[in-house]
Amino acid sequence: MTRRQEIGRGLASVEERIRRACEESGRSRQEITLVVVTKYFPASDIDLLVDLGVRAVGENKDQEARTKIADVAARDRIEVHFVGQLQSNKAASVARYADVVHSVDRARLVRALDRGVHRADRAEGGVTALIQVSLDGAEGRGGVPPGDVPALADDVAASRLRLGGVMAVAPLDGDPDRAFGRLEEVSHELRGSHPGASWISAGMSADLEHAVAHGATHLRVGSAILGSRPPHR
């Protein structure tokens, strides 16, 4: 099997899972963006994905992403989503190539991204920020507690970033339904004060059905499409 066929199969099986999950919760596939997480995989895989119709890819390390994205032949046809924990000193670099940052979890990072957008001459609102929410047990993987979301949302809304909504990673040993249910509530509250912040980034290879059931608008799926990741270098 060629790499293209391998990725095509992975993509088809994930699309089928999304289609069924949508059917079960009475949602439309159009409401959901599939972000294929390409971390550790080469730029050539991104080109294959684009050929197969994918338009959004996710990366989680600046050092890897900034060189890889520049090598993608179809660069102008992809939307780049930064999904990993982000140090403030890498924010200026990420602001140059990312269209969406899913992991905004502190005011300092908002300020650093805001300056980065300005310096990179990106349009105001050209980079969308999602507030990463820490759901019980998920500490250490970034995110703010639900109670801190409103203040941070106001910071983002006052910056050059566009406030897109919320993101979470389900706790490793917890119940994904409970976690994504809680995230859906946090999103609902946020939309009370920021009606445009309607995105919910939730769900990965193992739990995307639960995320669709709880209103996810963005799924971040890696291994179920690309295969198991090579060991971390």
Ligand X SMILES: *Cc1c(COP(=O)(O)O)cnc(C)c1O
Residues that bind ligand X (CB under 6 A): 37, 39, 60, 83-84, 169, 204-206, 220-224
Q: What residues pair up with 57 in beta bridges, in sequence order? A: 36, 80
User: In sequence order, which ranges of the chain are alpha helices (DSSP H)?
Assistant: 3-25, 43-51, 62-70, 91-97, 107-119, 149-157, 176-193, 208-213, 223-226
Q: Tell me the residue type at 197.
A: A
Residue with nearest beta carbon to ligand X:
222
With respect to ligand X, which residue has the nearer C-beta, 154 or 177?
177
* Nearest residue (CB) to ligand X, 18 versus 224: 224
Whole-number minimum distance, CB 202 to ligand X, in Å? 9
Phi, psi torsion values for 102, nearest 5 degrees: -85, -10
Nearer to ligand X, 37 or 190 (CB): 37
The pairing of beta strand 162-167 with beta strand 56-59: unpaired
Alpha-carbon distance of 44 to 176, in angstroms, equals 33
Closest separation between CB of residue 172 and ligand X, Å? 11
Angle value at C-alpha 141, between 135 and 147, nearest 5 degrees: 35
> Which residue's CB is nearer to ligand X, number 133 or number 160?
133
Q: Please report how close the Cβ of residue 141 comes to ligand X at its closest, in angstroms.
A: 8
Residue closer to ligand X, measured from CB, 146 or 222: 222
Residue 162 contacts residue 128 (beta carbons within 8 Å): yes
Task: In angstroms, give the least distance from the CB of 18 to ligand X.
Answer: 13
CB of 21 closer than 8 Å to CB of 209: yes
- Residue 83 beta carbon to ligand X: minimum distance, rounded to whole angstroms: 4
